[in-house]
Structure 1
Amino acid sequence: MSLPALFDAAICVLAIMVVFTLLATAINEAIADNLRNLRGKTLAQVIHNLLEREKKRAKGTGQKVSPEPDLVNAFYNRPEIEALMRPRSLSGTITSIRRRPSAIEPRQAALSVLAVLLDPDEMAELEARANQERDAYRALLEQSLSALPIGELNRQIALRKVADLSALIDSEMEEFRTTLDRQRARIEEEYAELIARAQGWYLRSTRKMLFVIGLVLAAGSNIDLLGYTEQLMAEESLPARTEVAKALIEDLEEKGLAGSTDPDQTAYDAAIASLGKLEVPLGWTCVALAEVEGNDKGEGRVKNRGPWLQDLPELACEEGETLSPPSVPQVIGWVLIAFGVTLGAQFWFDLFKKIVDLRTAGSTVTPKPTS
């Protein structure tokens, strides 16, 4: 088998994988986002883990923890978090059934965690202590900067690009972090860490769903991937035969012999039949019970399966017929498609592009130097 024919077969198979992957991804997004709200549930698990971790740390440091029994619901009931929720549907606007958000900004999450985790008196004490720390640091800055020589003070004002001493103090205060600020920053870092870990949870859950969807799509369409690949590998001369058949058909049509009783009609029919072999083996077909080995119900293996898609597949078989049972290679092809779908559309797009680039790449001719 020549290399160009091998590339052609690979491109056709990759095109099928791209179609199935895009379809499975679209279905999965519709299910995960609209029906299951998988992102919102994953984020809720992150918030639960964060609250549990901070609760243990707060008790270890002697801080008073809120007596609220369900901290997760208290978190989502805060006004700033409720503002991020949206109704599940149009009826949800009336019934007030709202979906939990799928993303929360880290600083907002840290502020809300502290607000629901700590006892209100403990939180008020932390904020009062933070104000005292800021006032003490501001007084220290004023004393230190006022003691500087005029030349050094002017140099510091110029470096900070401010107008006067008060603006210089405000600029320095922006970098000051109180105990409460450092605690919020630490929670933000832990939140970001849990979010990065949750991406792995979401990816594994998504891949499981994609595998199921891909298997259902492959089995529902009854595609014979391995059979189609084998057919493409065997059709090395297909492009050449296609051009010959095309030229023959055009010649017969120009002569007005297409569809007539002329002997050349046999050549015309043969050309049309050769082009019919390009069909993708897709869809379920009905066969007579007499063609099936097995019991009286028609279960078993089909004799002489014949070409696929001779007629359009029907939704139900007539009396005395049964669906053509799949072969073992077909089932293996379904599983391969299901596994391939889990790799994502971007993987197949990149691979498809690389194969196409290799197929269309030609030899580079180096021009001879001119004298």
Structure 2
Amino acid sequence: MTGSVALDVVIGLVFIYLLYSLFATLVAEIISTNLMLRARNLKEAINRMINDEEGEGNSYPRIIELFNILPDNYVNNLINNFYDHQEVKYLGRKANLNPSAIKAVNFAKVILDKIKAVGSGTTEIQKIKSGLERLCLPEGSEDYIEGTRRILGRKTAEYIQSILEDCQGDLEAFKKELENWFDRTMEQTTEWYKQRMQKILLIIGFMLAWVFNVDTFSIVKKLSVDQDARDQMVQLASAYVQNNQYDKYALLVTDSLALKADTLKLDSASKALITDYNARLEALLDTKKVLEQDLASANTVLGLGSWLPDSLMLDEKKRIIYPDWVNAGVASKIIGKCDSAKSAVTITCFQKWHYLFCLLFGWPRILGYFITALAISLGAPFWFDILNKLMKLRGAISEKK
């Protein structure tokens, strides 16, 4: 015991945020895996690199674009020619699926091969220079390359030509600069992916907050007045921190497109998680089950839930006895009066759904759900770090006492 109610309340709240952030992260990763979000994100980035034309994907007003979580599925001659190259074609898990990650050397190889294919000369560097000159020609020129044969937009070809000039015709240096260009673009592409995943986490976070009735205001109120619940939450948080010094699955949201097992220091099961779709999905679902058990333990303490039981008992005065986690004000309006001859009231499926949707539109619950969703969208690593620091602070205070 530290004697600090405020600190214990914050620890309990952060622990709840951590558990639901992990749960949301796993759900988001399952969604991302099934929607091939990484592959689509990569395709969007490569299209931006090689194509000058705008507006080939979906064109949304800026306000709508803020809520768009899926990258545009670009279909044009340039991107099709790129993905049809043997260096990229077989990197996908299946013949009709694009790869979710390619290496810089793959990108440079495709670009060089396509440039040389439209050039002429006896040496490799001559073919590259000739090919770039043809690709830089304006439409209508005698040697202009038609769209079906193109691999680069004209402005992109001019940019690559300037790179070759900077390298002073050194082929190895030129290849290295193309790889560096790809790596720089992938760094920004990773930021696009993170932004999209954060939007997904926010949506999932709100849905979880609503379905499980994780109202931040209610949690704070419960922990502030219920010492037993507060102590149990602190114990659960302490046990969790001791048993989970580092949660590798929480990193899945913030990984780059080119996930590297040696950098992340993952074990063999986690490598399979990244490289093989089925193993990855299975591992995610197994971890989800473990998290659901942790959530069930925490929710039992706090009495969280948005689903009414099949029946509710009546007291001696024939009033319904509501569990702590049920909002009596909302439930009483839905259930109405009870039959005095019965000792319990049966809850219909319609009443359960009615109760669930009434919770969504109540004030200030909806604000509490939104705050919870914002907290969840910050990600599990953030809350795990905060919880670690709070537990150390609590330990230091306890030692002083």
1:314 deviates by: 6.5
* Change in 2 beyond 3 A, CA 1:48/1:82: same
The answer on whether the counterparts of 2:120 and 2:127 sit within 8 Å (CA) in structure 1 is no
Number of matched pairs: 243
What is the distance in 2 between the residues matched to 1:239 and 1:336? 21
What is the distance in 2 between the residues matched to 1:179 and 1:130? 14
* Change in 2 beyond 3 A, CA 1:123/1:236: farther
What is the distance in 2 between the residues matched to 1:314 and 1:123? 79
* Change in 2 beyond 3 A, CA 1:315/1:52: farther
What is the distance in 2 between the residues matched to 1:10 and 1:207? 24
Structure 1 partner of 2:87: 80
Give the root-mean-square deviation of aligned CA atoms. 3.8
Question: Are residues 1:346 and 2:377 paired?
Answer: no
Q: Which consecutive residues of structure 1, in runs of 5 or more, have no partner in the other structure?
A: 54-68, 88-95, 132-175, 241-276, 292-300, 306-310, 366-371
Structure 2 partner of 1:192: 183
What is the distance in 1 between the residues matched to 2:46 and 2:230? 59
What is the distance in 1 between the residues matched to 2:184 and 2:38? 16
Where in structure 2 are the equivalents of 1:204-243 lying within 5 Å?
204-235=195-226
1:106 deviates by: 0.8
Structure 2 partner of 1:21: 21
The answer on whether the counterparts of 2:214 and 2:372 sit within 8 Å (CA) in structure 1 is no
Of 99, 102, 122 in structure 1, the residue corresponding to residue 100 of structure 2 is 102
Structure 2 partner of 1:302: 330
- Aligned partner letter, 2:355: L
The answer on whether the counterparts of 1:223 and 1:330 sit within 8 Å (CA) in structure 2 is no
1:121 deviates by: 4.7
Larger Rg: 1
* Change in 2 beyond 3 A, CA 1:126/1:103: farther
1:333 deviates by: 1.6
Where in structure 2 are the equivalents of 1:1-371 lying within 5 Å?
4-33=4-33, 35-52=34-51, 70-87=77-94, 96-97=95-96, 99-116=97-114, 118=115, 120-122=117-119, 125=122, 127=124, 129=126, 178-235=169-226, 278-285=301-308, 302=330, 316-317=349-350, 322-323=354-355, 325-326=358-359, 327-362=362-397
1:177 deviates by: 8.7
* Change in 2 beyond 3 A, CA 1:360/1:223: same
What is the distance in 2 between the residues matched to 1:347 and 1:36? 26
Query: TM-score, normalised on structure 2?
Result: 0.52
Q: Which consecutive residues of structure 2, in runs of 5 or more, have no partner in the other structure?
A: 53-75, 129-166, 232-299, 313-318, 320-328, 334-343
- Aligned partner letter, 1:215: F
* Change in 2 beyond 3 A, CA 1:314/1:339: farther
What is the distance in 1 between the residues matched to 2:226 and 2:92? 56
- Residue by residue, what CA displacement relative to the aligned partner does 1:26-70 show, whole Å, maximum 9, x if unpaired? 01111112x2211111111221122136xxxxxxxxxxxxxxx71
* Change in 2 beyond 3 A, CA 1:363/1:341: closer
Structure 2 partner of 1:139: none
**Percent sequence identity over matched residues?**
23
The answer on whether the counterparts of 1:130 and 1:179 sit within 8 Å (CA) in structure 2 is no
- Aligned partner letter, 1:346: P
What is the distance in 2 between the residues matched to 1:123 and 1:191? 26
* Change in 2 beyond 3 A, CA 1:115/1:178: same
- Aligned partner letter, 2:12: C
- Residue by residue, what CA displacement relative to the aligned partner does 1:281-307 show, whole Å, maximum 9, x if unpaired? 32233899xx9xxxxxxxxx63879xx
